[in-house]
C-alpha cells in the first residue's frame, strides 16, 4: 500500500521511519511546505532501507499522493512547553483548511489519519472539512496513552505490557479517562493479579499511574521539546492495521454520535480497525466514576469544537 505523510517534522518523519522499518508500505511519499525538509527526511529514511525492508521512500508534492491508501496528516505547529493541546486549536485548524482539500483532490479514496494536536479537535476539523464518513477520518487519539497505561501497569506488576489489556478513552489530553475497572493482566482483573504477586495497587498507586500517563507528554516536552517516537510508532500501528486488514481493536479518535450526552463528538473509544478504516466502535464497560469522567471529557471536546469556524 502507498502511504502519504503531510508534514515531515518530528512526528511525520518518526511515523515514516517506523512504517518503513516495519515494511508495512510499498511506498511512502513525504510532503511538506518546506520541500528541502521533506527531501532530506526521505533520503535519510531511504538510506536505512537496505538494513530493513524494500520500501520506496521519496519526497513529493500533493500530486504525488495519487493512489495513496492512507494519508497521515502531521502538519501543524508544535506544542510549546506549558502549552495545552487545546491551545493549539486555532493555529492548527488554519493549517488543515489549506491541506485537506489538496490531499483529497488527488487521493479521494484515501483514509485520513490525523496526528496533529489537539488531535480530537483536529480529527473533527478534518472530518468536517473533508466531508468523508467518520470511519475514514481517524485520529491517533489515545493510542499512545493506552500504550503508556499498559506499560506502567506492566512495570508495576512485573509483567510485559503485552500481557496487560487496558484502555484510556476520552480526550487525548488532560481529561482522558484511564479505565481501571476493566483492566486485565492476562485474563485476571489487575487488582486480583496485584494481590497474587504482592504488588500494592490501591488508590494511591492507581492515581500515580494515571497521572504519569496523563502527564507523560508534558514531562517529555519539558525535557526535549517534543514527543515523537511513541506517536510515530502508534501511527505506524494504525497504518499496519489498515494495510493488512487486521480488524484489531485500537483506542482511536473519530467523530462519534452520543457519547456522554453529546450528539456528535470526536473522542477516543476502542475501535475495530481494518482495510475500510474504522469498522465498528465498541462501548467498554465502565463504573459510575469512569462514565462521569468520560461525559466530562466529551463535553469539553464538544464545547471547543463548537467554537471552531470551519
Mean predicted confidence (pLDDT) in 96-105: 94
pLDDT at 218: 86
Selected catalytic residue, list 33, 47, 156, 172 = 172
> For residues 61 and 204, what is the distance between their CA atoms, to the nearest angstrom?
51
To the nearest whole percent, how much of the chain has pLDDT over 90? 87
Cell of 26: 510499498
pLDDT at 93: 84
Instruction: Tell me if residue 156 is catalytic.
Output: no
Average pLDDT taken over every residue of the chain: 95
Q: Is the predicted pLDDT of residue 79 greater than 70, yes or no?
A: no
> For residues 37 and 56, what is the distance between their CA atoms, to the nearest angstrom?
17
169-185 pLDDT, tens digit per residue, is: 999 999 999 999 999 99
> For residues 132 and 138, what is the distance between their CA atoms, to the nearest angstrom?
11
pLDDT band at 21 (very low <50, low <70, confident <90, very high): very high
> For residues 238 and 247, what is the distance between their CA atoms, to the nearest angstrom?
11
pLDDT at 85: 58
pLDDT band at 309 (very low <50, low <70, confident <90, very high): confident
> For residues 173 and 214, what is the distance between their CA atoms, to the nearest angstrom?
7
Mean predicted confidence (pLDDT) in 60-78: 94
CA distances from 14 to 52, 115, 233, 243, 275 (A): 15, 12, 7, 18, 23
DSSP assignments along the chain, one per residue: -EEEEE--SHHHHHHHHHHHHHT--SEEEEE-SSHHHHHHHHHHHHTTGGGS---EEEE--GGGGTT-SEEEE--SPPPPTT--GGGGHHHHHHHHHHHHHHHHHH-TTPEEEE-SSSHHHHHHHHHHHH---GGGEEE-TTHHHHHHHHHHHHHHHTS-GGGEE--EEB-SSTT-EE--TT-EETTEEHHHHHHHHT---SHHHHHHHHHHHHHHHHHHHHHHS---HHHHHHHHHHHHHHHTT--EEEEEEEEEEEETTEEEEEEEEEEEEETTEEEEE------HHHHHHHHHHHHHHHHHHTT---
Amino acid at each position: 500500500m502507498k502511504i502519504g505523510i503531510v508534514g515531515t517534522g518530528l512526528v511525520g518523519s518518526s511515523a515514516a521511519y517506523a512504517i518503513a522499518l516495519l515494511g508495512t508500505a510499498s511506498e511512502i511519499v513525504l510532503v511538506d511546505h518546506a520541500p528541502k525538509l521533506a527531501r532530506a527526511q526521505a533520503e535519510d529514511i531511504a538510506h536505512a532501507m537496505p538494513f530493513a525492508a524494500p520500501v520506496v521512500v521519496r519526497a513529493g508534492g500533493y500530486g504525488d499522493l495519487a493512489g495513496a491508501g492512507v494519508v497521515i496528516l502531521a502538519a501543524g505547529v508544535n506544542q510549546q512547553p506549558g502549552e495545552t493541546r487545546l491551545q493549539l486549536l486555532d493555529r492548527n485548524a488554519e493549517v488543515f483548511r489549506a491541506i485537506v482539500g489538496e490531499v483529497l483532490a488527488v487521493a479521494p479514496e484515501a483514509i485520513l489519519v490525523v496526528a496533529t494536536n489537539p488531535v480530537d479537535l483536529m480529527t473533527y476539523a478534518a472530518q468536517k472539512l473533508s466531508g468523508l464518513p467518520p470511519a475514514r477520518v481517524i485520529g491517533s487519539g489515545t493510542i499512545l496513552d493506552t500504550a503508556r497505561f499498559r506499560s506502567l501497569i506492566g512495570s508495576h506488576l512485573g509483567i510485559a505490557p503485552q500481557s496487560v489489556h487496558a484502555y484510556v478513552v476520552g480526550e487525548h489530553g488532560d481529561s482522558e479517562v484511564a479505565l481501571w475497572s476493566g483492566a486485565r493482566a492476562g485474563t485476571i482483573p489487575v487488582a486480583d493479579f496485584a494481590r497474587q504477586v504482592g504488588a500494592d495497587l490501591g488508590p494511591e498507586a492507581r492515581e500515580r499511574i494515571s497521572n504519569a500517563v496523563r502527564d507523560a507528554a508534558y514531562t517529555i516536552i519539558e525535557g526535549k521539546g517534543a514527543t515523537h517516537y511513541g506517536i510515530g510508532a502508534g501511527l505506524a500501528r494504525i497504518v499496519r492495521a489498515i494495510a493488512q486488514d487486521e480488524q484489531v481493536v485500537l483506542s482511536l479518535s473519530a467523530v462519534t454520535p452520543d457519547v456522554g450526552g453529546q450528539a456528535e463528538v470526536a473522542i477516543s473509544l476502542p475501535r475495530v480497525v481494518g482495510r475500510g478504516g474504522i469498522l465498528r466502535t465498541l462501548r467498554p464497560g465502565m463504573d459510575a466514576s469512569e462514565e462521569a469522567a468520560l461525559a466530562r471529557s466529551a463535553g469539553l471536546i464538544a464545547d471547543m469544537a463548537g467554537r471552531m469556524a470551519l
